[in-house]
Structure 1
């Protein structure tokens, strides 16, 4: 039998995706969404994702397949929602983008009252290909902290203690004034007060050996401007996320990577994923995970269910309440999760959001027990955050 080089096999199998048919209307329970054959999760998924050819036809299903992946599935319309309205929106997403920089949606999934009732893939979207996640990786990091609290590795009161107290390898004598006042909660609210100019930060990155392990935080807190007292300005930056991951790593037996794998993702049957390492050697916390769209929906359902997954309390309800409540620093930001209100049809709906540049979103609407997941590859955030609520909320409002 003739042997085919693995790279050639990968390219050939990608071309088979052109045979994907347009699945419109009610689908059988075994309807198959488009996949990438022979996917190796150890590959550099971000680079591979950029090379995926666009689907010739979208996959649109109002009856997602039961994959035994921890999600309960249902039927759009029968289990809630205006089927015609959602299908119309899905068809618009499938149309060629009017602007090459926006409108590049790869998937849209909708969960309602605990069931996945709508699943669609466009362009680079594949059911088995973990989509690269930018800043929404921060949101997953916050959930990992919550899981550590649920397990007793951290306590709720630890959120308001100085973060450096957990990092025993730091040389406190070399840290800038005020470094010992930064709490874990403040770091997750992007209010650490760490300030490194771009030039100085670039210089420090040229010596990666000093950034391994807790050397990362040592560097930030040794070369920052002095940390001012609270209240501090909100600044969306990587050092704050790194503090959270470092605290998790210090608290979790076996370290952050194993903890995330076994105690957060593993508990939710999330196994088809990739999470890049940071320069410190720990998992990246600002961006760098790759997650399936269906697994993103699980995170949304976990939060809507107040930290419970399949009857087990994975994350404390009190922690999630605080994580999704705005701080005094930013009225739209909690612990690496965004909050926003939308007015649709003369009524205001509260939303909780995970956001990633390029267009990875988890949008939750607690009042309706509704969660929507979107992945995209836009040049910027796109317009989904504003347009999606206007299109899907009316479909689930009881008339």
Structure 2
């Protein structure tokens, strides 16, 4: 099964987050506080719109109304569809989970680097990690789908997770800056008492013994779970159509205790 390609749905978002970090490190994007209007000047409609930054897109706090994928997908131009939405909240005020934000990030990446998001990923992330067998769907404007477009192997999802646990290094090469690893995965927006959101990564806080885990999460139970304190990466792929959160319970109640017991017994 590790050699079979899986639709990873919103795990795509976390990979896109890494690409934004690489683009910033290369100087193609100045920083996360760059206003998105720099890339879409034709949509300079009002003052609130001008305040939206790349960071707001990464944290899902742009304030743009989001009618859901069922609204965006049938539209002829996905980026225009997202940008034409009303601003429901001041940027940075409230989190609304939106694949539209991810599509804007993919479009920004392409405008900033001059490469299609998939080509940029191939050059600076996938090839260095030895990831060669994947598919990244695009919209009608040839923009790689930032929110849910990737299909890839379980073993390659594991490589991506290991890159984060290893502080951005793969073998002898620093692919992602350590600073970006820390910034992009640390909690930014509180969702509830145990859950927060970072730059297209989720955070869950368990009890003191287990601590914090970082997650890339996709529809139907696609997971890359990072437990940095234990240098642990767990990848799960499934087709659970109801409540895939029980996989997290399985990780918390069974898998992670096995790791912690092993550490304790070998100290």
| TM-score, reference length from structure 2 | 0.88
1:269 corresponds to: 130
Q: In structure 2, do the counterparts of structure 1 residues 226 and 177 end up closer, same or farther at CA, with 3 Å as the change threshold?
A: farther
Answer yes or no: is 1:193 the counterpart of 2:68: no
* 1:172 Cα deviation from its structure 2 partner: 3.5
The equivalent position to 2:227 in structure 1, one of 360, 365, 372, is 365
Answer yes or no: is 1:153 the counterpart of 2:24: no
Any conservation in 2 of the 1:136–1:355 contact (CA below 8 Å)? yes
* 1:196 Cα deviation from its structure 2 partner: 4.6
2:240 corresponds to: 378
* 1:320 Cα deviation from its structure 2 partner: 1.6
* 1:206 Cα deviation from its structure 2 partner: 5.2
CA distance in 1, matches of 2:142, 2:216: 25
* 1:241 Cα deviation from its structure 2 partner: 0.7
The answer to which of 183-192 and 279-288 deviates more is 279-288
CA distance in 2, matches of 1:354, 1:254: 25
The equivalent position to 1:339 in structure 2, one of 203, 219, 234, is 203
2:251 corresponds to: 388
SS in 1 for 2:119: helix
Answer with 1 or 2: which has the greater Rg.
Answer: 1
| TM-score, reference length from structure 1 | 0.60
* 1:360 Cα deviation from its structure 2 partner: 0.7
2:187 corresponds to: 326
* 1:380 Cα deviation from its structure 2 partner: 3.1
SS in 2 for 1:171: helix
Higher helix share: 2
Any conservation in 1 of the 2:59–2:189 contact (CA below 8 Å)? no
Answer yes or no: is 1:129 the counterpart of 2:20: no
* 1:207 Cα deviation from its structure 2 partner: 5.1
* 1:164 Cα deviation from its structure 2 partner: 1.9
- CA offset digits 1:165-220 (Å, max 9, x no partner): 134xx4145x3541111100110100111115469x74x76551xx1xxxx43332
What CA RMSD, in Å, does the superposition of the two structures yield over aligned residues? 2.2
Alignment gaps of 5+ in structure 1 = 1-125
Q: In structure 2, do the counterparts of structure 1 residues 186 and 329 end up closer, same or farther at CA, with 3 Å as the change threshold?
A: farther
Superposition pairs for residues 1-399 of structure 1, below 5 Å? 126-155=1-30, 158-167=31-40, 170-173=41-44, 175-197=45-67, 202=71, 208=76, 211=77, 216-222=78-84, 224-226=85-87, 228-328=89-189, 330=191, 332-343=196-207, 347-382=209-244, 383-397=246-260, 398-399=263-264
Q: In structure 2, do the counterparts of structure 1 residues 198 and 131 end up closer, same or farther at CA, with 3 Å as the change threshold?
A: closer
CA distance in 2, matches of 1:387, 1:233: 31
Q: In structure 2, do the counterparts of structure 1 residues 339 and 226 end up closer, same or farther at CA, with 3 Å as the change threshold?
A: closer
* 1:293 Cα deviation from its structure 2 partner: 0.7
1:94 corresponds to: none
* 1:253 Cα deviation from its structure 2 partner: 2.9
The answer to which of 249-258 and 362-371 deviates more is 249-258
* 1:310 Cα deviation from its structure 2 partner: 1.3
Task: State the number of aligned residues.
Answer: 258
* 1:227 Cα deviation from its structure 2 partner: 5.4
CA distance in 2, matches of 1:320, 1:129: 28
CA distance in 2, matches of 1:305, 1:183: 29
SS in 1 for 2:87: coil
Alignment gaps of 5+ in structure 2 = none
Q: In structure 2, do the counterparts of structure 1 residues 176 and 367 end up closer, same or farther at CA, with 3 Å as the change threshold?
A: same
* 1:278 Cα deviation from its structure 2 partner: 2.3
